[in-house]
Amino acid sequence: TTVLGIEASCDETAASVVSLDANGVPAIRSNAVLSQIADHAAFGGVVPEIAARAHVEALDGIIGTAMREAGATRDGIDAIAVTAGPGLIGGLIAGLMTAKALAAAWGKPLIPVSHLEGHALTARLTGQAEFPFLLLLVSGGHTQIVRVAGVGDYQRWGTTIDDALGEAFDKTAKLLGLPYPGGPEVEKAAATGDASRFALPRPLRGEARPDFSFSGLKTAVRQAATAIAPLSGQDVADICASFQRAICETLADRVARSLGRFRTEYPGVDEPVLVVAGGVAANRAVRATLESLCADQGFRFAAPPMALCTDNAAMIAWAGLERLRAGLTDETAMDVAPRSRWPLDEGSAPVFGAGK
């Protein structure tokens, strides 16, 4: 079975062909990603209108690239999976309309997929996780801890009460004068910094609720930076290192709550798994922290390769394959509307005219 995946929910235009062989072993046959970073860099963040236009211009080409690199023809494609939400509405419309047009022209089924489901199931594309598992989703727009029991079977246990973790990285980078996107820049600067120089808060530490909070941390960074401005290169590195350490210690404390709950709810699972996914999962310090937390708590830690953590279409094609295999597809797909907000635990995409 072979699925073409299309992703245009934020600032990456992406297409990918993923196949599943008769033994159920997946293969990424192509994974084409066109980043719009250069288009948005001058504005210090993603500009929705620019993103939408860039997706419209790039989609046809990137799909052609993915098909060519996979050596695939339309006859070899069994279904077309596309991100239907959540994300920036202009890009979602561009991606979904392109996928619908292809599905109609090629006579293939369309599978609308949640971008978050793509992140959530990536560790299964790489053979790193069986159901059920615990998922820490840390991306530009989301920070959630989710119990994943099957395809489409998600229960959110914790979420951020303010900023997403990726957003905290990006805002911190911006106020330190580092370029967008900030996450990788903060990680780079932190490598040569002194993590003990600044005393930053560990939001919600020790609280029973399994949620996250990052806006106070960002404010504390601003105050620390203002107090010693103008900043030298070493000051920036020290702030980044202190910030990253605060993030890691906060994550370890917050996630530990849910590891305990998972054990209680699934006593029969011998080797429970924590999967980390989303763009911030590319951060090495975050990975190392979660890995040692898991080692302490008797969990296996699973993190997809870096290139599959940040946005891509292989994860969308894969989510489509998982849905196809689970029989979770139907003919209403061609009537699905894009959804800018779409919580992972809320089920399928809504259909036009379905009374919504």
Annotated binding site: 115, 119, 137-141, 170, 183, 187, 283, 311
10: contact with Mg ion by CB under 5 A: yes
Distances (CA, A) of 148 to 57, 83, 209, 275, 296: 36, 19, 19, 10, 22
Closest CA to 339 of 103, 84, 147: 84
Q: Which of 193, 278, 304, 338: binder of ligand ATP (CB under 6 A)?
A: 278
Which x/- pattern, by CB under 6 A, does the window 103-132 give for ligand ATP? ------------x---x-------------
The site partner of 143 among Fe ion, ligand ATP, Mg ion, none (C-beta below 5 to 8 Å per kind) is none
Could you give the 3-state DSSP secondary structure of residue 220?
A: helix
**Residues at the annotated binding site for substrate?**
137-141, 170, 183, 187, 283
- Region of 344 (left: φ > 0; alpha: ψ -120 to 50; beta: rest) is alpha
In the structure encoding, which two tokens stand for residue 167, read together? 């957003």
**Three state DSSP letters for 229-244:** CCCCHHHHHHHHHHHH
**Residues at the annotated binding site for Fe cation?**
115, 119, 311
Region of 10-18, 142-150, 200-208, 312-320 interacting with Mg ion (CB under 5 A): 10-18
Give the footprint of Fe ion on this chain (CB under 5 A). Answer: 139, 311
- Residue 224 vs 277, nearer CB to ligand ATP: 277
Least separation in angstroms between CB 270 and Fe ion: 31
Tell me which H or E stretch contains 122: helix 115-125
Return the residue nearest ligand ATP (CB atom).
279
- Residue 257 vs 287, nearer CB to ligand ATP: 287
φ, ψ for residue 302, nearest 5 deg? -130, 125
Number of residues that bind Mg ion (CB under 5 A): 3
- Residue 193 vs 279, nearer CB to Fe ion: 279
| Burial class (CB within 10 angstroms; exposed 0-12, middle 13-18, buried 19+) of 345 | middle
DSSP 23: T
Region of 57-65, 255-263, 308-316, 331-339 interacting with Mg ion (CB under 5 A): 308-316
Gyration radius of the chain over CA positions: 20
C-alpha 50/C-alpha 152 separation (Å) is 32
Could you give the 3-state DSSP secondary structure of residue 127?
A: coil
Region of 21-29, 163-171, 223-231, 294-302 interacting with ligand ATP (CB under 6 A): 163-171
Closest CA to 214 of 257, 170, 180: 170
The site partner of 283 among Mg ion, Fe ion, ligand ATP, none (C-beta below 5 to 8 Å per kind) is ligand ATP
Least separation in angstroms between CB 118 and ligand ATP: 8
Task: Point out which residues bind Mg ion (CB under 5 A).
Answer: 10-11, 311
Task: Point out which residues bind ligand ATP (CB under 6 A).
Answer: 10, 87, 115, 119, 139-142, 166, 169-170, 181-184, 187, 278-280, 282-283, 310-311
